[in-house]
Structure 1
Amino acid sequence: MNKKFLAIPALLVAIGGGAVLAQSDLFAQAENNPSISAGEAKKIALKQLNGEIIGFEYDRDDRTPHYEIDILKGNEKIEVEVNAGTGKAVITERETVRTSTAETKGNEEETGKSTDLTNNSTNITEKQAIEIAQAKAKGTVTDLELDEDDNRLIYEIEIRNGKMEYNFEIDAKTGDIIKYEEDLDDDRFDN
């Protein structure tokens, strides 16, 4: 009879430990294989805010893997977070971008930088910039941003393939690769 009393708690501990291990395995699976693809996340964000995607990043460093998508709508840059597991979208940040030259000059003097993306135009689409980068480095695009540097629009693209990370800066008018870096990210997989 004493053996039964000892066996029941031991069985409960084993079941509880198995459940915890199974749950952590589910989190790892969701992190490596998000239910929502990058393309689906972009569609979800654009459904919520009709505008132009100027930045895109997959973030799995937080507890919940998600996509951070920057959308330019009128004179606002809006960040939308899309949960990679559920597809739920939430606006996390809004920022007014400058549209007039006088306003831009005044704000540059105050902040020291310009974020005027509305007066410049691109000849290369986001998709074309990705194709240019992936022609040089195969892998998954984990970060994409349209940024202004010295009055020149540049696509900043990060590609990952296993432990390798590739970073590109591509001229948004010409499609020229301005900067290319390779990095072995061995810290990323150490636990």
Structure 2
Amino acid sequence: MKKVVVGTVASAVILGGAIGAGAMTDGFQNFRSVNPAPSEPSELISVEEAKEKALAEYDGVVESIELEKKRDGYVYDIDIDDGDMDYDLDIDASNGEILRVEEERDDDDDDDDDNVSSSNSNGTAGSSTSEDLISQEEAVEIALAEVEGTLESVELDDDDGRAIYEVEINTGTGDDDDAEFDIDAVTGEILEMDLD
């Protein structure tokens, strides 16, 4: 009699575990169907559209735009500087919706990226203003003329007094398939190209 009861209890535990596992599996399948698959890069709004949406809400100069892959899709991380405030925005790359904004008082004394300048001891070298610079879009076009792919990021930077655009292009489907460019922000010359 004890063997029958133990066998019955063991069977009930095993059967209950199997039913529970089946329910869990179905639950996870339903979870996947609630969360849509991330958008593909070809379905995203352009860098220019993301920039326009950001500047429609916040005045200033776009210092950088970066396309980031998140769990639920792609977002543009956009940094805007208006002289007094820095804004860090996340914009949904599939529909242009502003998802997050961080505001921070701009109280650092470093060179602004929209007016990158420097000079040597006699005051003659390498001074450039934002009017002298090519646009971010032109820098991206220069990079895309060299390789096919989708824009990952573009950022205006100061490299030893020289204004440069750092452009990163995803050239494949893997995370490591990137081409990185340093482009002179005044002349459009490719200073450095790194193909992974």
Whether the TM-score (by the shorter chain) exceeds 0.5 is yes
Query: Among 53, 67, 82, which residue is 1:73 paired with?
Result: 82
Query: Among 26, 32, 40, which residue is 1:32 paired with?
Result: 40
- In the TM superposition, residue 20 of structure 1 has moved relative to its aligned partner by 3.0
Query: Among 113, 117, 128, which residue is 2:113 paired with?
Result: 117
Gap change, CA 1:48 and 1:89, over 3 Å in 2:
farther
Equivalent residues in 2 for 1:136-155 (5 A)?
136-155=146-165
- In the TM superposition, residue 158 of structure 1 has moved relative to its aligned partner by 0.4
The answer to whether the 8 Å contact 1:97/1:115 transfers is: no
Structure 1 unaligned residues grouped into runs of 5+: 99-106, 108-113, 184-191
Matched with 1:59 is 68
Gap change, CA 1:77 and 1:153, over 3 Å in 2:
farther
- In the TM superposition, residue 168 of structure 1 has moved relative to its aligned partner by 0.5
**Higher alpha-carbon Rg:** 2
Query: Among 174, 183, 187, which residue is 2:187 paired with?
Result: 174
The answer to whether the 8 Å contact 2:170/2:179 transfers is: yes
Structure 2 unaligned residues grouped into runs of 5+: 1-14, 116-128
The answer to whether the 8 Å contact 1:34/1:85 transfers is: no
> Matched residue pairs, number?
162
| TM-score of the pair, normalised by structure 1 | 0.69
The answer to whether the 8 Å contact 1:129/1:175 transfers is: yes
- Percent of aligned pairs sharing the same letter: 30
1:86-109, CA deviations, whole angstroms, 9 ceiling, x for partnerless residues?
6134322435266xxxxxxxx5xx
- In the TM superposition, residue 13 of structure 1 has moved relative to its aligned partner by 4.6
- In the TM superposition, residue 14 of structure 1 has moved relative to its aligned partner by 5.3
1:23-78, CA deviations, whole angstroms, 9 ceiling, x for partnerless residues?
46x2xx22535875234432321121022222001111466642110123234442
Bigger Cα displacement from structure 2, 137-146 vs 57-66: 57-66
The answer to whether the 8 Å contact 2:64/2:154 transfers is: yes
Gap change, CA 1:151 and 1:22, over 3 Å in 2:
same
RMSD: 3.1
Matched with 1:111 is none
1:157-178, CA deviations, whole angstroms, 9 ceiling, x for partnerless residues?
0000213200001111111111
The answer to whether the 8 Å contact 2:38/2:72 transfers is: no
- In the TM superposition, residue 155 of structure 1 has moved relative to its aligned partner by 0.6
| TM-score of the pair, normalised by structure 2 | 0.67
Query: 1:82 is matched by which residue type in structure 2?
Result: I
The answer to whether the 8 Å contact 2:63/2:114 transfers is: no
Matched with 2:166 is 156
The answer to whether the 8 Å contact 1:35/1:85 transfers is: yes
Matched with 1:94 is 104
